[in-house]
Amino acid sequence: MLKQCMDEDNLHRRLRKIVGQVQAVDRMIEEDIPCEDILSQINAAKSALHRAGQVILEGHIRHCVRDGIEHGDPDQTIANFTKAVERFANMN
């Protein structure tokens, strides 16, 4: 269902950037970069991952939730939405 909910290319682009940020952290550790700089890079990767989660949740609302309420089982749709929001909230 994910492919129906959002711009797949946008999400792949975001994830490639996150992978690059995590690889940069690994290089920084090898290069003995100051801890505060490494933590800053980790925070940037965490923020980017959070934003990717927001993109997925927004797509879920726009497509899956709307479609489920209009054409499916509204109660199950609400239960699935609640589960998605709980999982997103636990990312922090």
Spacing of C-alpha 40 from chain mean position: 19
Residue 82 lies in a domain: yes
Question: pTM for this structure?
Answer: 0.81
pLDDT in tens, 36-83: 999 999 999 999 999 999 999 998 898 989 999 999 999 999 999 999
Query: Who contacts 53 (Cβ-Cβ below 8 Å, separation ≥6)?
Result: 88, 91
Q: Which helix (H) or strand (E) holds 43?
A: helix 35-59
The pLDDT value given to residue 82: 94
Residue 2 lies in a domain: no
pLDDT in tens, 11-41: 999 999 999 999 999 999 999 999 999 999 9
The pLDDT value given to residue 91: 76
> Considering its fold, how many domains does the chain have in total?
1
Residue 3 lies in a domain: no
CA distance 84 to 81: 5
The pLDDT value given to residue 92: 64
The pLDDT value given to residue 3: 63
